[in-house]
Chain A
């Protein structure tokens, strides 16, 4: 009996030893020591989170990492101009939904599939299946993985929980109920303030990224199966019209100039009963320094339209530059893999950067600290049902968004939406580049 238990212990120890040696042997993290890699970054909460941790990676691998961060507008210009000039860039942050086709066609995105499949370069524990499928799809072009999500976003309907409870109003579940609820609150005097029913983005191109959830939920789409503009379809027109009418009739004055900053300000001033915008703005609504509605906000997914409940997902990813050398590309992959491993994703989420890994969201550490379980539950639900195509599937995304934005502006101003949408469809067919 004693001898047997000794053998069991020995075998167990041996197995444990083998497991750990294989785990360490799988990826030699030191294989590229001495390499220097340069990443261009957006000044984004993720960058703030990862920067102080980089020495940990440098110690692990012996790779020197240079992170250069710029404010967003300037960052986009710099990244394009530098890649075009063939500067020494090994990796960069990208919003795939915005730039992936342009960058792919320009030859600036290195596919990562070979690195992910190579057990010498990727830990089994890294596990791509742990990421939400919608984001893995959103960060791929023509079936190739061109980025790994570091900041996962979707949009939510945020509402004044306190007023909804006080006035016994139900959270809208359908688009029709959304309109009725907005109508109910619009013009009501509450705490000496005249309320608006709902606030939304209405500023031309900027509005398209929120409007797109309405487009999908009404059964519309950017393009037809043949690749032509689908804005002339009755479903797409209905989406434009509903969004425009909602903002004109039950929204703040001057709807066509509302960017996210204006729209969230109105909600945080306590002047709007509802807002539909990015889920990450919870950080603004719940910030006592800026907001008058702290603790009074409830969160829900987009109401269901005729085609169902179809929010969009968008994300920032880390990508590898195709213009770099194979050595440095591998080093860049090691960095991206490390930056998106389970412990970093969890730490990022705990620091307020919404990670793309399910395990982080489901972890006990996160759940025990979560003050807004309704936000978490609806964010995760939206990640699951989210549509990865949040921008038009073209190279010239900004130009097509601009054309789309004009229809939204016309809809808010109460012009003939069908005519405007058809005109935009024609222009879009002429201008789309793939």
Chain B
């Protein structure tokens, strides 16, 4: 017994590099690698859940995908939604962080209230927005009309649906960017600021030539974190519009969900998922390059 134990302990000692990470590696393998592998396999198969077995069709799904107008629409919606919401969130998040990054009375309370949207449950918040944005019975139009402005169709018109969804996304996620940037601002060195002040630089110059270059790696990291969620934004759009009106707010991610879990076409849905995966991957590789080069300069 004792020898068996010491043999085991010697075995562990010699292979620490393999043994200690093993549980994490196994868990990762089970919940990440296998599903991705299975998804890749399904993307080359034709299969409606419940009807027969997956049938291998090679790149057939990807050929179908090229002539599917909802795929192009999905990419366009994704670029429009993510482009607008990410840039607004980063810009606003930075401005608000700069504003909050100073001593004033009650700053802690203001910050606590400010992160509230970010802490709330996405689906619950989205359901409330869905009612608020209704042009007939929603409170948004009531507010607009009560100050004499014309009402908007918000998410009920193909022209305004994306800006309206961006509004909700910005309301919810800007605080997250602010928090990250604020942490970055607090860790900046004081010396360059003192030197600039002695040289007589104004506030704008200090921001442009000192703060922005110093904070850039943090900004890009915040953008990457946010973009991971934003590019696969699902719960909010699904709850508020389900991709409507028509397909005006149907991102590629939403479309692949509809194909997979509403039409039960697991093969084609998986192929769409692969495209989303590649888009997110490419975006993040580019962002990572930018972050590294920002750090090195």
Contact = CB atoms under 8 A, between A and B. Distances in A.
Sorting the interface of chain B by its residue count into under 10, 10 to 19, 20 to 34 or 35 or more gives: 20 to 34
Contacts of B264: 80, 102, 396, 398
Given A253-B156, A262-B134, A406 B246 contact: yes
Contacts of A396: 48, 263-265
Nearest to B50: A106
A105 B134 CA distance: 41
Contact of A266 (B51, B137, B156): B137
Contacts of A375: none
B50 A83 contact: yes
Contacts of A253: 135-136, 151, 153, 156
Given A80-B50, A399-B263, A409 B246 contact: yes
A413 B244 CA distance: 13
A382 interface: no
A409 B245 contact: yes
A257 B244 contact: yes
Contacts, number: 87
Contacts of B272: none
A328 interface: no
A410 interface: yes
Contact of B246 (A77, A102, A256, A271): A256
Contacts of A398: 262-264
B157 A254 contact: yes
A80 B49 contact: yes
Chain A contact patch, size range: 20 to 34
A84 interface: yes
B137 A265 contact: yes
Interface in B63-120: none
A424 interface: no
Contacts of A395: 48, 51
B79 to A, nearest CB: 22
Among A395, A398, A413, max chain B CB count under 10 A is at A398
Contacts of B158: 413
Interface in B239-263: 241-242, 244-247, 258, 261-263
B126 interface: no
Interface in A67-91: 77, 80-81, 83-84
Given A252-B135, A252-B136, A399-B263, A106 B246 contact: no
Interface string A187-207: 000000000100000011000
B156 A106 contact: no
B137 A102 contact: no
Nearest to A406: B246
A150 to B, nearest CB: 23
B134 A254 contact: yes
A102 B217 CA distance: 53
B241 A257 contact: yes
A255 B244 CA distance: 11
A269 B264 CA distance: 37
A399 B258 CA distance: 9
B155 interface: yes
Interface string B157-169: 1100000000000
A264 to B, nearest CB: 11
A256 B246 CA distance: 7
A102 B136 contact: no
A275 to B, nearest CB: 13
B51, B151, B241: which has the most chain A beta carbons within 10 Å? Answer: B51
A103 interface: yes
B51 A271 contact: no
B51 A254 contact: no
A185 interface: no
A398 B151 CA distance: 34
A406 B248 CA distance: 11
A241 B50 CA distance: 36
Among A80, A262, A271, the most chain B Cβ lie within 10 Å of the Cβ of: A262
B51 A105 contact: yes
A409 B51 CA distance: 31
Interface in B12-59: 48-51
Contacts of A409: 244-246
B134 to A, nearest CB: 6
Nearest to A199: B136
A286 interface: no
Nearest to A254: B156
Contacts of A257: 134, 155-156, 241, 244-245
A416 to B, nearest CB: 14
Nearest to B262: A398
B153 A204 contact: no
Interface in B214-251: 241-242, 244-247
A402 interface: yes
A81 B86 CA distance: 36
Contacts of A433: 48
A74 B48 CA distance: 18
Contact of A254 (B135, B261, B263): B135
A265 B154 CA distance: 18
Contacts of B157: 254
B50 A103 contact: yes
A221 B158 CA distance: 29
A108 interface: yes
A204 B134 contact: no
A170 to B, nearest CB: 26
Given A203-B244, A271-B136, A256 B50 contact: no
22 contacts: A102-B50, A106-B50, A106-B51, A253-B153, A254-B134, A254-B155, A254-B157, A256-B245, A257-B134, A257-B155, A257-B156, A262-B136, A269-B136, A395-B48, A395-B51, A396-B263, A398-B262, A398-B263, A402-B258, A402-B263, A409-B245, A413-B245
Given A253-B151, A269-B136, 5 more contacts: A204-B242, A252-B135, A257-B156, A265-B134, A410-B246
Interface of A: 77, 80-81, 83-84, 102-103, 105-106, 108, 196, 203-204, 252-257, 262, 265-266, 269, 271, 395-396, 398-399, 402, 406, 409-410, 413, 433
Interface of B: 48-51, 134-137, 151, 153-158, 241-242, 244-247, 258, 261-265
